Structure formats: structure tokens, C-alpha cells
Amino acid sequence: MSSGDDTPWLTPNQQRSWRAFLGGVTVFMDRIDRDLKTAHNLSLSEYEILVRLSEAPDHSIRMAELADQVALSRSRVTHTAGRLEAAGFLRRDPCAEDGRGVQAVLTDHGMEVLEAAADTHVRGVREHLLAHASDEEFEALGAIMERVVTELHGKRF
């Protein structure tokens, strides 16, 4: 790090916070993912897809829209949906509107698995994240991340 370049280096406090953020996100997400896999044989990304389907009208979302909602590539969502379909948690149907697209549809079995996994997920969020933040801190974190997603992914929550 030479002092003559134009790089706007982080201050020591910013660097400390940045590294704490990276480390915290990594260990937190790994723990939630491990808990879901151990208890329900679901990854966190699979769980999130099931959540999005459960919240959608008729428990159905066009695959391209689902990819946007979970901020994953279309190929990654297609691959993950394939695993979920093989397990009987969702099915993929042609879109009724145009026949070209594909709708992911949550099955009854998928809803049952999701309902069981939701307790594990929520308990993990409470124990491993919320227990370490005040309501105000958590709201501030949410506001920051919402702006980041909007800026980088073009999506509003």
C-alpha cells in the first residue's frame, strides 16, 4: 500500500468492521446451512427457494423471477430446483401464460418439509444473530443490506 496511489484505503475502524462483517456473515451462514442440512437435509439456498414459493400466489413462481428473488444465477436456481424436484419438494410446470417459461410449484410435501425446517431456521437466526444485536442495530443492518441489494441487484424489498 504505497501512499502515492489514488486508492481510497479503508480507515483502521472501517477495516476492522469490514473484516468482522466478512467473518460474521461467513460463520453465521455456514452455521444456519449446517443446521438445516443436519436436521432436514436442506441447504440454506434450498430452504430460501421453498420459502419464496410458499409466499407466492398459488405457491408458484416463474423460474426466472425466482432466480431474481433469491439473487442466484438462473443456472444455479435451475440446478437447485432439480434437486428439490427429485426430492418431491417442488415440481416444474410450463408457464400457462406463454408456454415458453417454466413455473416452479411448491408441492404439499415441500410445504411440510418447509414448515418443519422453519423452526430450525428461525431458532438459528435468533440464537446466532439476533441475540447479539439490539432491535435498532438489526434494523440498521437490514436498511444497509437493502440498499446494497437495490444498488447491486436492482431489486426493492
Residue spans of the domains in the chain: they are 13-153
pLDDT score at 100: 78
- Indicate the pLDDT class of residue 24, thresholds 50, 70 and 90: very high
Read off the pLDDT of each residue in 117-130 and give the average, rounded to a whole number: 97
CATH code linked to domain 13-153: 1.10.10.10
Whether 103 contacts 63, CB under 8 Å? yes
CA distance 141 to 27: 17
Mean pLDDT (the chain) is 92
Name, in order, each residue with C-beta under 8 angstroms of 77's C-beta and a sequence gap of 6 or more: 49, 63, 66, 67, 70
